[in-house]
């Protein structure tokens, strides 16, 4: 992966997930956002930058939650929506949340926090096969 984005309102969760992705060399560049709104603003105005390959998205956040992010994501520039895959990374283990998340075409995985080595291996395998 060239670029990965982590979106989570929790400093602790951002730190843990970032370190985990660094240890397993998941991506060359990690971009962190504490709010879905900040991430959406950046993605709307991405200009000459490459769109992220993967976006790890928390569902339970104040103001703009993960589902609102997913609805807004569909309206982003085509160069973002055609490239970026979304991995829901949440504390929710609700079947309803899982089904709703997968109703969005860019969502490829739904993992419970924290990330595990098996999750990273599954993602690597899937992204390697699709490229």
pLDDT at 106: 96
- Give pTM, 2 decimals: 0.95
Q: What is the mean pLDDT of each run of 10 residues along the chain (131 residues)?
A: 96 95 95 97 90 97 96 95 96 93 96 93 85 57
101 Cβ contact partners less than 8 Å away, ≥ 6 residues apart: 59, 66, 67, 70, 88, 107, 110
Q: Tell me the C-alpha distance between 87 and 18, whole Å.
A: 14
DSSP-assigned states of every residue in 86-125? EEEEES---HHHHHHHHTSTTEEEEEESSP-HHHHHHHHH
pLDDT at 19: 95
pLDDT at 65: 96
pLDDT at 131: 57
Q: How many domains does the chain have?
A: 1
Residue-number span of the structural domain to which 120 is assigned:
3-130
Helix (H, G, I), strand (E, B) or coil at 27: coil
């Amino acid at each position: 992966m060239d670029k990965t984005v982590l979106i989570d309102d929790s400093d602790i969760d951002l730190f843990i997930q970032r370190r985990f992705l660094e240890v397993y060399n998941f991506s060359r560049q990690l971009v962190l956002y504490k709010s879905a709104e900040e991430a959406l603003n950046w993605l709307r105005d991405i200009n000459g930058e490459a769109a992220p390959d993967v976006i790890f998205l928390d569902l339970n956040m104040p103001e703009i939650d993960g589902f609102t992010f997913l609805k807004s994501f569909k309206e982003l520039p085509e160069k973002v929506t055609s490239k970026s895959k979304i991995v829901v990374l949440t504390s929710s283990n609700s079947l309803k949340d899982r089904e709703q998340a997968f109703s969005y075409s860019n969502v490829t995985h739904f993992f419970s926090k924290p990330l595990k080595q098996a999750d990273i291996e599954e993602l690597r395998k899937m992204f390697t096969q699709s490229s």
